[in-house]
Chains A and B, each alone.
Chain A
Amino acid sequence: MLHTRQPSSPSRIRFRLLADRAAKLVFGAAALFGIVIMGILLARITSEGLSWLSLDFLTGRFSTSPEKAGIMGAVLGTFWLLAVVVPVTMIVGIGSAVYLELYSKNGKIRTFIQTNIANLAGVPSIVYGILGLTVFVRVLGFGSVVLAGGLTLSLLILPIVIVAAQEALRSVPSQLGDASYALGGSKWQTIQSVILPVALPSIMTGAILALSRAIGETAPLVVLGIPALLIPFPGGILDRFTVLPMQIYYWTLDAALVADYAHLAAAASIVLLISLFLLNGSAIYLRNKYSMKA
């Protein structure tokens, strides 16, 4: 066989080096883009809202007078929402993942379920809102209460939790399960005392990231009909409620009427961002702590 490739000319080489440098620049800029946007966002909301953050703001009730308004109602609303979302997504999410990974056989049914879950993960959140309005608020007659909102948001994040839990279960080394079987453990015993405990940190990481998404959602709740003015604190999952993102949304709208509402929206955004950072941080902490042990 003849060598057909010619040695590169110096101009070719210069072009390649140039292309190399250009590529580095383009990709570097792409990576910076996110950071710059984040920086602008943070600078803007801190300059607008930081001076409005106070203990009274955090613990106060909602008010139409900006200087009296507080966000405790929205914070409690989020808390009760989580009281619904956490158990529902954990039980149903881990349950379906265990079934899909450990019980179901490879076959048509499994592929069917798997495809559906993948598709559900891509459904826009507002569609879940419409579903929640129809099923939970209207048909089941809950009204726009925490329970209806919580179940709607659970549906929204379930696909994410299931996929994360499946990944986690799949990454458990098969020797561990085999060892348990060798000792005479039943399938449930093996799952319960060997596989789940090993997979739990990764499952939690995925679940916490999904929860932080639920906390930040606005679109499905707008559809459910969360009131713009709600002063009493929600005391349980059958009470009507509002959450931080909704409060931010309404204050942003009302900034057209009373300019100071913009500061309230910014201050509430700071609170929301900090809580999301904390949640995501705890997910990363869990992941790092347990992946080192493994």
Chain B
Amino acid sequence: MIKSIKKTMLIGVAALTLAACSSKDEESDTASATASTELEGSVLIDGSGTVYPLMAKLAETYMVEEQEGVSVEVSRAGTSAGFKKFLVKDGTDFNDASRKIKDEESQAAEDAEIEVKELKLALDGLTFVVNKDNDWVDQLTPEQLISIFKADSDVTKWSDLDPSWPDEEIKAMGPNENHGTYEFFYEKVLEEQDLKPSVNLQQDYSTLVTLVSEDKNGIAFFGYGYYAGNQEKLQAVPVDFGEGPVEPSLETIAEDGKYATFTRPVFTYLNVGHAEDKPQVLDYAKYVLENANKMAGETGFAPIPESESKENLDFLNTLSDK
């Protein structure tokens, strides 16, 4: 019996040693390389859950088709939570964001001596969804939407919006403060007016989809992609920006589309220092800019004009010349 204890320990020690050896060769990612050579090492990405599907698709195709030796790892803590991991020494290489970087975050970057470059990836339409059985809402104006969510308003029932609508409580929901989607809504739509305390704020988009699809009086907002994948469970609310109701779609949320008022760009922020030090980070950054438009559609985003990615690409090319 004592032999089996010794055996267990031996196996354990052997495993530790083996593991220590095998991972050493992966740490040497300092080899300088040009874009065409085989790269290795890892690229760490965190941030927005809204941007995640697009970034995950890009990362997978990059690893499968371009650089098999590079491990691109994508997490999804949310834009704000992601920035906290990005703006520290030895933090992540990229932070996906569904809003622009805030002043205090730029300040934090300066304090930590991190040079940050904003890379615009695609366009997303803030989509308001209601239950499939909701047969009364055929369109809403931005003002009506604001009155549903803001604290300082008398609208609590559907009948408060239109007397012919049911005399039932509106169940308003949305993503919580960790999400750039929340902040875009709060800053750009509500113009920083407080939300009703009754608004149900959730961490996960999947929860919102379930909640609205099960509650006839539910209404929630999130990125277009989450609606696009759930069209059989939810219906999008057409919004009347003054020229008749517009339903969000890949065409209307595009640059200068009719839904543009509720359209926002999504970004990824690059740690420029990391891109200069690690060739795989720079190479991946270029790949992202060159291919984001191709993969935007299938993940529920509208493409951005070529000229904008071109500008950022030129910037990245100056880095590789250094």
Contact = CB atoms under 8 A, between A and B. Distances in A.
Interface of A: 63-64, 80, 83-84, 86-88, 90-91, 94, 146, 192-193, 196-198, 200, 225-232, 235-240, 252-259
A240 B8 contact: no
A226 B73 CA distance: 9
A237 B71 contact: no
23 contacts: A83-B19, A84-B16, A88-B12, A91-B9, A94-B5, A225-B75, A226-B75, A227-B73, A228-B52, A228-B74, A230-B73, A231-B59, A235-B23, A235-B26, A236-B18, A236-B22, A238-B20, A239-B26, A254-B53, A256-B209, A257-B53, A257-B229, A258-B229
Given A87-B15, A227-B74, A236 B229 contact: no
B132 interface: no
Interface in B90-147: none
Given A200-B1, A229-B74, A252-B206, A238 B19 contact: yes
Contacts of A225: 46, 75, 77, 85
Contacts of B76: 228
B42 A240 contact: yes
Contacts of B13: 87
A200 B60 contact: no
B19 A64 contact: no
A40 to B, nearest CB: 18
B310 interface: no
A90 B2 CA distance: 13
Contacts of A236: 18-23
Contacts of B4: 200
A193 B210 CA distance: 59
Given A254-B206, A257-B225, A231 B63 contact: yes
B158 interface: no
A80 B206 CA distance: 31
Contacts of A254: 53, 206
Contacts of B26: 235, 239
Interface string B35-62: 0000000101010000011011101100
Given A227-B44, A257-B300, 16 more contacts: A63-B60, A64-B57, A87-B15, A197-B1, A226-B75, A227-B75, A229-B72, A229-B74, A231-B71, A232-B71, A235-B19, A235-B23, A235-B26, A236-B19, A256-B209, A257-B226
